[in-house]
Amino acid sequence: PAPSDVTATPGARGRPRPQRLTVFSCPPGALSAPASCRCRRCCRTMAFVTRQFVRSVSSSSTASASVKKIIVKHVTVIGGGLMGSGIAQVAAATGHTVVLVDQTEDILAKSKKGIEESLRKVAKKKFAEDPKAGDEFVAKTLSSITTSTDAASVVHSTDLVVEAIVENLQLKNELFKRLDKFAAEHTIFASNTSSLQITSIANATTRQDQFAGLHFFNPVPMMKLVEVIKTPMTSQKTFESLVDFTKTLGKHPVSCKDTPGFIVNRLLVPYLMEAIRLYERDFQMCGNSNLGLGSSLKGDASKEDIDTAMKLGAGYPMGPFELLDYVGLDTTKFIIDGWHEIDAKNSLFQPSPSLNKLVTENKLGKKTGEGFYKYK
């Protein structure tokens, strides 16, 4: 949700957070006009250092307790889309209390309906011989999920905030900057981003040590893997707490540094892009830039044969073009464009003319009825 849709009254938090320090490393006049300060990174660093100092002078009993990992019981999920709903579902199904947040009640109603339908599918398989137990499982899980359109008013009592909104760095930064003011001191922040740098998101807050990436995979209820992303500032306590949390969800966590694409997408997206290049190569070499996609485009191999080859030869469940359409061509384009901005000289991060053309025409894959393939 856009930060303008997230409201809260002062005092929603249990206790005040130390104020940001902007005195050091800032040019004269910067304090009276923060927007003009060119040393924001220094300011954030000072705020972070101040936070650590305040913690270090806490009472011995508090210090002793702080070394213990956070046991996540209460989870707030920001974003009621496919990923956010899936995360909320698996958290509630494993004994956590969940608040699902989005911009409107209509979006949340659709999210809850989708979660219920997904749970019934799970229950039908899991409790095939005991339908009554399946109904109880669905009812109990749904009762653990509440919804809200006001994120800032619910994070004061949560152990973990998982963000799963649109892949827009500015929106994520504004969201976390606001939530940072209202969340409890112990609350861990995590982003489900698949393409943005976690450090860039964490820098919007004063809790970089309590910020990490939690990258789930679609569909969340079915996919076992979760990438736990540790930035240079993420504390070991935060990292271990998130690893333990993913295990309670019945997932298999793998750890990775804050590198573009993390593990899976760093390997998967270049593979998908190379499949497209294999398909469009003659098209590019011949300079036929005005040709459209279809029978007139003759590459090194057809998309059908490429998909068949990878399924039968490599044992993949889906071919690259099938997977591209399933994921969404706009999603792949967004990721590769972002990486290209970071490292334009990297041959693996080069954009694709045919992918760009399909996205421009709003042929995004299964969700729009047409991508590299047509769907009824």
Residue 288 assigned ligand-binding role: no
Taking the C-alpha atoms of residue 348 and residue 344, their distance in angstroms, rounded to an integer, is 9
Residue 329 assigned ligand-binding role: no
Residue 367 assigned ligand-binding role: yes
What residues contact 279, with CB distance under 8 A and at least 6 apart? 297, 299, 300, 301, 302, 303, 306, 321, 354
Residue 257 assigned ligand-binding role: no
Pairing label, strands 211-216, 225-230:
antiparallel
Taking the C-alpha atoms of residue 244 and residue 90, their distance in angstroms, rounded to an integer, is 15
Residue 194 assigned ligand-binding role: yes
Residue 292 assigned ligand-binding role: no
Residue 118 assigned ligand-binding role: yes
Residue 79 assigned ligand-binding role: yes
Sign of CA dihedral 350, 353, 357, 360: positive
Residue 218 assigned ligand-binding role: yes
Catalytic residues: 194, 215, 227, 265
Residue 136 assigned ligand-binding role: no
Residue 330 assigned ligand-binding role: no
CA-nearest of 221, 206, 185, 244 to 82 is 221
Residue 272 assigned ligand-binding role: no
Is the omega angle on the peptide bond into residue 219 within 30 degrees of 0, that is, cis?
yes
Residue 83 assigned ligand-binding role: yes
Residue 124 assigned ligand-binding role: no
Q: Which residues are annotated as a binding site?
A: 79-84, 102, 118, 125, 167, 172, 194, 218, 367
Q: Which residues are annotated as a binding site for CoA?
A: 118, 125, 194
Q: Which residues are annotated as a binding site for NAD(+)?
A: 79-84, 102, 167, 172, 194, 218, 367
